Amino acid sequence: MAEAIKTADMIVTIDADLQDDPDKISEMVDKYADGADIVYGVRNNRDTDSWFKRTTAQGYYKILKLLGVELVPNHADFRLMSKRAVETFLSYPERNMFIRGIIPKLGYKTDAVYYKRTPRMAGESKYPLKKMLAFAWDGITSLTIAPVRLILILGTAATLLAIAMMAYAVIMKMLGLTVHGWSSLMVSLWFIGGVQMISLGVIGEYIGKLMNEVKERPRYTIQAKLN
């Protein structure tokens, strides 16, 4: 891509298996001529997928949205990008890059074309379940630190529950309705576990900030310079 953009005004990426519709490229070019810097190729249905793949894909998009990740549903790597959009994309120096999540962050005007993906005519998919799970996890860990914050929230909840159990144990003790040793054991387990999770969450927040600094992503994109 870095070499191709030196002599090109735009670049189109498409999978080599040709399940994506190449005839839609001309429509992408038309949208580029109308001012769009990024044109996504988006599937208008998933009839060629199995029930399992279709269900897990839709669930994955919903999870990423809940985690605050901006993603184009049912879009893979079939897209058109203008020269300046490619140059901005190449300014992201990170190696562990989830491209589908980075492209929407570029900030340029976008559009989409919709197409029906055809069944694979030959060969087998290079993405079995194991690779798909690894790909999905890369998408989460490279774009958000929300899982770390979830640990912090769970730890806080566990600690609050331990405090509530402590109050409950005191009341039961005063009423003489407790089993000897049970209250102190359960309260200790919940409280220690909660404090440990809070500690992990705090450490994770610092690591997440370090991760964002190390990636050195541009803070903003200059779309145009005015005299």
Per-residue pLDDT tens for 103-114? 888 888 888 889
Distant-in-sequence, close-in-space partners of 91: CB < 8 Å, separation ≥ 6: 218
Least confident of 18-22, 26-30, 36-40, 168-172: 168-172
pLDDT at 3: 78
Most confident of 17-21, 93-97, 113-117, 134-138: 113-117
pLDDT of 80 reads 92
- Name the least confident of 18-22, 35-39, 191-195, 219-223: 219-223
Proportion of the chain above pLDDT 90, given as a percent: 1
- Higher-pLDDT residue of 131 and 156 is 156
Length of the chain: 227
pLDDT in the model for residue 102? 85
Query: What would the mean pLDDT of 8-21 be, rounded to a whole number?
Result: 83
Higher pLDDT, 219 or 14: 14
Q: Which two structure tokens, joined as six digits, stand for 144?
A: 């958000």
- Would the pLDDT of 157 be above 80? yes
Please classify residue 209 by burial: count the beta carbons closer than 10 Å to its beta carbon, then call 0-12 exposed, 13-18 middle and 19+ buried.
exposed
Kindly state the average pLDDT of the residues 133-142: 77
Kind plus residue range of the DSSP H or E element containing 42: strand 38-43
Tokens of 118: 């055809």
Q: Is 138 exposed, middle or buried (0-12, 13-18, 19+ CB in 10 A)?
A: middle
177 falls in which pLDDT band (50, 70, 90)? low
Kindly state the average pLDDT of the residues 80-107.
84
Average pLDDT for residues 139-168, to the nearest whole number? 82
Answer yes or no: is pLDDT of 182 > 70. no
Whether pLDDT at 45 is above 70: yes
Q: What is the mean pLDDT of residues 173-181?
A: 69
Number of Cα atoms under 13 Å in the Cβ half of residue 210: 6
- What pLDDT shows up at residue 122? 63
pLDDT at 161: 84
Average pLDDT of span 13-40:
87
